[in-house]
Chains A and B, each alone.
Chain A
Amino acid sequence: MVLGQYFDGKTAQAHDVRISFAAGGLSISGKQDMVGTWPYDDLTAEAPPSFRETRLRCKGKGTAAIVVVRDADFAAQVLAKAPHLKRAGNKVGGGLTMLLGWGAAIVVAVVAIYFGIGAAAGLLADLVPPELERKWGDAYATGLAGESEGLCAEPAGREALDRLVARLEDLAAAPHPLDVRVVDTNMVNAFALPGGHIVIFSKLIEKADNADELAGVLAHEIGHVAGRDSLRGLMQQIGVAAALGLVFGDTTGVDGSMMTQLVGLSYSRDLELEADRYAADLLTRAGIRRDGLVSFFARLDQEGPSTPLEILSTHPPSDERARLLANDKGGGPAMPADDWAALKTICGQSGDE
């Protein structure tokens, strides 16, 4: 028998008790009244019994009641009767092998999730019916390049562009009818939205040296439409955000949004290369020189990065792109010189700045 303290879970007062090992469990008795017997199997603790202090609770005995004993022999004896207390508190072992094991598990999990999201995004994108994709795309396109004053549609230029689009679209077998818009914006950019919408910024046409370069950009964007890449990118973004949110509990903070962007970038590099491959094939079949995209980007790169964030941009490594799109298949110009001149003035101003 040992002496100990007992918190009965009724008041915060500590009571002196005597504790002994009975057949059915720990027998606890106090001055005034018998406390009872706690079965050995029902004993729980926040830490294993130790020579300094043993704190025990009992499942189902009013969850908060506690018995406290400071006695080394008692600790050893209670461990013998209730060996499960050795693991009380679920403390994680800190050995080197354990640490390395958990570290390896983290790496495996991150890799699995990364590829899992990529694959799942593709599957999910396939599940979205084209009509729904078209609707989403329409909403985006109206928002980004609506019937506002920014839309460029000088008739001669528009017709020239339409002829080029038609020439490529006939061979493209894209899942959506193409809708190519030119928007008057002072940025060099072009992008594909869900549902076959392609937006080209006027500054890009201005910067292009010849129609082949524009055709290269256009074929690349048609590649994105054919791969339903915007949709896939959207799904990936949702997937990455959801994964980060679940794991880190926070996607709104700096960490979250930064990581979403970085992970998204690494996915889109793959998609960009895929679009390049598609463009190479499409241009060849259309009988157009296929190095327009390369020469265009090479010239832009020479002019230097236009923004500090350019390093993070989604362009694939240029040597890989150059290899894919090298002009080794011949081919002619993308459009007659008249058409190109007309296209340069699609926004109404003179093309030679």
Chain B
Amino acid sequence: MSDPTVAPVDAPPSPQARLSHDSTVAELVPMHLKFLALTLLTLGVYHFWARTHARRFLWSRTRLLDEPFVYLGRPVELLVGFVVAMVLVVAPVVVLNVVLLPQAEGDPDAGLMAGIAALSVVQAIAIPYLIFVGGYAARRYRLSRTAWRGIRGRQAGSAWTYGLWGMLYAMVTGVTLLWFYPWQRAKLARERLQNAWFGSLKFDCDVEGRDLVGAFAIMWFGIPVLGMILALVVGGLFAGLVAGGVMSGEIEGETDLNQAVWALQLLPLLMYLPLGLFYIIYRGHELRHVAKHTSFGEVRFEFTYGIWQYVGYAVGNIAILLLTLATGWIYVQRRQLKFWERFLVVSGDIDFAAVGQAADTGPRTGEGLAELFDTGFEIGF
């Protein structure tokens, strides 16, 4: 039965090999419906099974140098991770807001007030801190459960330290009118990528704040400028309409005018438009820079998208999530992989014989904090 002419799996990697992904939306629709139905029927417990099945499927359809990724995680690991995070984080918040605070209104005493003060601090500082920590720890879990050519990924470094840096940088960003932001992002990207491994082969990243500062400047100046233009145009249009209505007699009396004034209060909502647009543009630039400064042995990465292609991609993702009431995450994950397939150039060779498996098999449970705060990123630099 043997066929000696079967093509070898290990064709030499092409100099500009890209990532490929070949799932179709038609395959995902039944998965989406099944996941949603079972998640609802189990009051959310199935969510962790859905996540795991989706990853197994999507990973197996994603190939680098013609070898697919393998997802090794198990649903129960996500479930346990979530329960632990829930108990650690949500319990104090509930105790504070539902039990202690109302009680203190009735009879304040010193011990109670101390407890409230402590828990309030937890709420104000620990939660943003844990968002950083959770994001990093989730990365560690996901990489440890992702194998390629029989070798597992790995995220070294301390999530707690990463969280401390994250908080510190965020504070500096706050006091520098946000101008530290590119450095914050670059430092954290370096921290993540310099600690990422594929077996015994380490990723490296040398992106600097100055690489991102141009993109940041566009955002910093762009948001208020576009915001003011929008406010002037829409405000002017609105004022014109109202004036026209008053003159033609269509708007009369206090009530109609009140309504008009009410509509005017919705004007600040327009600010979300430039805010979102310029943030997406910034993220598009940032991803390109970070990828360009990331290496993996002899391997280099480059994204070839134009910025408006990235904007279209990001807006499409948001639209999918809004239209599916956030249940359509599986389509967004597929879109990300297709986006990478289309635009990510991976070049350079790897000496596979020199890449060994690491002894570390990763954390036993995963992603609790990240699930809790929905840090959102699944795959990425």
Contact = CB atoms under 8 A, between A and B. Distances in A.
Is B one of A's binding partners? yes
Contacts of B9: 4-5, 14, 68, 70
The 3 closest A-B pairs by CB, nearest first: A246-B44, A7-B150, A109-B40
Contacts of A303: 255
Interface stretch (A88-96, A168-176, A271-279, A338-346): A88-96
B3 A113 contact: no
A306 B255 CA distance: 7
B120 interface: no
Interface stretch (A23-31, A98-106, A177-185, A321-329): A98-106
A9 B106 contact: no
A110 interface: yes
Contacts of B103: 135
Interface in B121-157: 147-152
A308 interface: yes
A68 B8 CA distance: 10
A13 B352 contact: yes
Contacts of A70: 6-7, 9
A95 to B, nearest CB: 8
B268 to A, nearest CB: 14
Given A46-B59, A110-B40, 7 more contacts: A12-B350, A70-B6, A70-B9, A94-B30, A98-B30, A102-B34, A102-B37
Interface in A1-44: 1-5, 7-14, 16
B10 interface: yes
Which secondary structure characterizes the binding site on chain A? mixed
Nearest to A1: B2
A8 B258 contact: no
A285 to B, nearest CB: 34
Interface string B93-114: 0000000011101100000000
A47 B352 CA distance: 25
Contact of A135 (B40, B41, B105): B105
A68 B70 CA distance: 13
A55 to B, nearest CB: 7
A201 B39 CA distance: 44
Interface of B: 1-4, 6-10, 26-27, 29-31, 33-34, 36-41, 43-44, 47, 53, 56-57, 59-60, 68, 70, 72, 101-103, 105-106, 147-152, 198-199, 255-256, 258-259, 262-263, 266, 321-322, 325-327, 329, 350, 352-357, 371, 374
B34 A94 contact: no
A270 B68 CA distance: 54
A320 to B, nearest CB: 25
A243 interface: yes
A181 B101 CA distance: 23
A252 interface: yes
Contacts of B151: 7, 9, 11-12, 64
Contacts of B33: 99, 102-103, 106
A259 B352 contact: no
Contact of B27 (A3, A12, A90, A91): A91
Interface residues of A, number: 70
Contacts of A139: 101-102, 105-106
A109 B6 CA distance: 50
Contacts of A156: none
13 contacts: A1-B1, A9-B151, A11-B356, A71-B6, A89-B60, A102-B33, A103-B37, A110-B40, A138-B106, A245-B44, A247-B40, A247-B47, A248-B325
A250 B105 contact: no
A247 B39 contact: yes
A108 B36 CA distance: 12
A286 interface: no
Contacts of A127: none
A304 interface: yes
Contacts of B266: 308
Interface string A58-78: 000001111011110110010
Contacts of A305: 259
B362 to A, nearest CB: 11
A3 B5 CA distance: 9
B149 A99 contact: no
Contacts of A256: 326
B371 A73 contact: no
Nearest to A102: B33
Contacts of A209: none
Contact of B1 (A74, A98, A259): A74
Given A11-B151, A46-B70, A308-B266, A105 B37 contact: yes
Contacts of B70: 46, 57, 64, 66
B44 to A, nearest CB: 3
A136 interface: yes
B99 to A, nearest CB: 9
Contact of B357 (A2, A64, A69, A255): A64
Contact of A113 (B4, B43, B101, B262): B43
Nearest to A142: B105
Contacts of A69: 6
Contacts of A2: 1-3, 6
Nearest to A250: B374
Nearest to A94: B30
Q: Which of B36, B329, B352 has the most C-beta atoms of chain A within 10 angstroms of its own C-beta?
A: B36
Contacts of A138: 102, 105-106
A155 interface: no
Contact of A106 (B2, B36, B322, B350): B36
